[in-house]
Amino acid sequence: MIYVSGQATGNPSPAGYAFRVKQGHLILRERQQTLTSGNALSATLIGVRDALQGLTQGDPYTIVMTNHALSVDLLNKSSVARSPAIHALVTEIQVLTAQHGLNPEYVHLLPETDPDLDEIIRLSEDSARLAWRTANSPACPRCGDMMTIHHSRGGKLWKCSTDTCSGTLRLYSSP
């Protein structure tokens, strides 16, 4: 069983996805990823592609559940992609499944119908928020890692995304 969700903060905008591959109650693989630009559909399709890439021929985990109905329609070939980028992702997924000898079943589930999907939706929302907070972030002056926007008593500021670093920068807003 594969659970996938993609989220975005706008269209297009920083986005994120998450997936979980399970066999029975055992989680075999889980990933949460940010994207610099995209929308919920592209983030979901990238998540499906990345989840399927780890499977081998004849894997039994080829039921893909997602909360994104259009991605299911596109992958089940009951709808046609209008965007060249989306069409390319769908084609890439179809080629990948053919190469691996997979015949996945794509299923649309509504939120709050499956606890695993709900957790993946939450993780993908977290990824999209993190992608938005780190979009165009400066490098930390102490360690060089990415910085994220944080709220403090004095207002917004850039804070190092590394837990062990205390680097900060002032975030100036326009008047």
Tens-place pLDDT, residues 110-154: 989 999 999 999 999 999 988 887 777 788 899 888 888 888 887
Per-residue pLDDT tens over the stretch 58-112: 676 689 999 999 999 999 999 999 999 999 999 999 999 988 888 899 999 998 9
Reading the block at residue 94, the tokens are 């179809």
Q: Which of 43, 12, 53 is nearest to 121 (CA)?
A: 43
Q: At the fourth CATH level, which superfamily is domain 2-134? A: Ribonuclease H-like superfamily/Ribonuclease H (3.30.420.10)
Residue 53 phi, psi (nearest 5): -60, -30
pTM for this prediction: 0.78
Calculate the CA dihedral of residues 114, 102, 30, 11 and round it to 10 degrees.
-80
